[in-house]
Amino acid sequence: MRILGLDLGTKSLGIAVSDETHSFSLPLKTIKFQNYEESLDEIKK
């Protein structure tokens, strides 16, 4: 099982996932946005 991590800031959202052993995380994507609704739309994709 892997763990999904979200790092929400005021202008960007960082998304990462852990490895199988939960020893470290790997970055997946950084989403830049103007308001929080934009980030939700991008996450749904």
Contact 15, 30 (CB under 8 A): yes
pLDDT (average), residues 21-38: 90
For residue 42, the model assigns a pLDDT of 80
Distance between CA atoms of 44 and 38, rounded to whole angstroms?
10
Question: What's the pTM?
Answer: 0.75
Domain of residue 15: give its range.
4-44
d(CA 9, CA 31): 10
Number of domains composing the chain: 1
The reported pLDDT for the residue numbered 45 is 79
